[in-house]
A = this chain, B = another copy of it.
Amino acid sequence: MSSSLPDVDFDNLHNLLGYHLRRAQVAVFKDFEAAVGSESITPGLLGALTIIGANEGLSQNMLADALALDRSTLVSVIDKLEARQLVKREKSPQDRRRHALFLTNDGREVLARTKQKVVEHEKKISQGMSPEERAKLIDLLRGLYK
Contact = CB atoms under 8 A, between A and B. Distances in A.
A21 B141 contact: yes
Chain A at the B interface: mostly helix, strand, loop or mixed? helix
Interface stretch (A79-87, A102-110, A126-134): A126-134
A140 B136 contact: yes
Given A13-B51, A17-B126, A145 B26 contact: yes
Interface in A1-47: 2-5, 8-29, 32, 43-44, 47
Contact size range, A: 35 or more
A58 to B, nearest CB: 7
Contact of A43 (B22, B118, B126): B22
A18 B28 contact: yes
Given A3-B65, A11-B51, A145-B26, A20 B138 contact: yes
B10 A66 contact: yes
A94 to B, nearest CB: 14
Contacts of A17: 28, 122, 125-126, 134, 137-138, 141
A116 to B, nearest CB: 11
Contacts of A22: 25, 43-44
